[in-house]
Every structure is written in C-alpha cells, then in structure tokens.
Amino acid sequence: MSNYPFIIIPLLTGIFTQAIKFTLSVIRHRKIEIKYLFTPGHMPSSHTSFAVSLVTVTGYYRGIDSIEFAIAVCLAYVVIYDAMNIRIHIGRNGAAINRIVDELKLSGYPELKERVGHLPAEVAVGGVLGFLFSMFLINFL
C-alpha cells in the first residue's frame, strides 16, 4: 500500500469540512465573501476534522496498536486542545484589547479578531465529520 492515503484523505476531509463552514457562514451572513473560506473558529472545526481524519486513516491502515497511531493521537490531542483552549483565550484577549482601544479612542490599531477558537460542540462536530468522511473515503478510494 502506498502512503498517499495518509495525506490525501485528511486533506480532502479538511477541505470538505472547511467547505461546510464556508457554506454555513454564507447562510449566516447572507452574502458570499472569500474571507469566509479562511475564517478561524465557528462550526465545524476543520482543524479537528483534519486531525481526527489522520487518526482514523492511521488506525485503519497501520492498526491501533502501532506507533504511527499513537503519534497521530498525540498530534490530534495538541490540535484539539489548541482549538478549544488556547485560541479561545486569544479571542477573549482580542475582545478586551478592542474594547480598550475603543474606550481610549486610540487610532492606528487594527481591530483584532475576537473569534479564533472553537466551542466544544464545534470541535465535536468536526471530529465526527473527520471520522465519517475518512471512513467514506477509505471505502471508496
């Protein structure tokens, strides 16, 4: 077996999940803007979907008792932890800084993004999509 499924399936899964996020953003805002393709945060988490896809593919092809699977699980943990915890705090800091800039009427400061992390439900949906779409691709590629 070639190693191509280890990168192709997670990439396709990440793209698929990001396309869903883009579609939901277009519906929510009632307009099409390219920036929605690259929006961090929101539903579903494409980072989580990508990471779970890598875990799924690795477990399927190498086995859940392999070192590759263990590495994929550890990597997924870091990605998901970052999405739910670290980036949520970055967004909160951005919101606080934006309020300070507004209250002090400071000029020359760019408005910081306030939504860069994920809520648990967004991560959960990304994980489910990552697993299901990966299994679909494994069976049809």
Higher pLDDT, 138 or 39: 138
Domain count, the chain: 1
Q: What is the mean pLDDT of residues 41-57?
A: 92
Question: Under a CB-based contact definition with an 8 Å cutoff, are residues 30 and 103 in contact?
Answer: no
- Decide if 47 is inside a domain: yes
- What percent of the chain clears pLDDT 70, i.e. is strictly above it? 99
Instruction: Identify the H or E element spanning 14.
Output: helix 5-29
- Decide if 124 is inside a domain: yes
SS3 content of the chain, % helix, strand, coil (to 5): 75, 0, 25
Relative orientation angle of helices 46-62 and 5-29, to the nearest 10 degrees: 160
- Decide if 106 is inside a domain: no
- Decide if 74 is inside a domain: yes
Would the pLDDT of 5 be above 90?
A: no
- Decide if 109 is inside a domain: no
Mean pLDDT score of the chain: 90
- Which residue range is the domain that position 75 belongs to? 5-84+120-140
Backbone angles phi and psi of 33, in degrees to 5: -135, 135
| pLDDT, tens only, 71-126 | 999 999 999 998 888 888 888 898 999 999 999 888 888 888 877 878 889 999 99
Question: Under a CB-based contact definition with an 8 Å cutoff, are residues 46 and 126 in contact?
Answer: yes
With bands split at pLDDT 50, 70 and 90, how would you rate the model's confidence at 141? confident
DSSP state of 110: P
Relative orientation angle of helices 46-62 and 67-81, to the nearest 10 degrees: 170
- Per-residue tokens: 98: 């934006």
- Decide if 103 is inside a domain: no
Q: What is the mean pLDDT of residues 3-21?
A: 91
CA angle 9, 14, 15 (to 5 degrees): 100
Would the pLDDT of 1 be above 60?
A: no
- Decide if 95 is inside a domain: no
- Decide if 108 is inside a domain: no
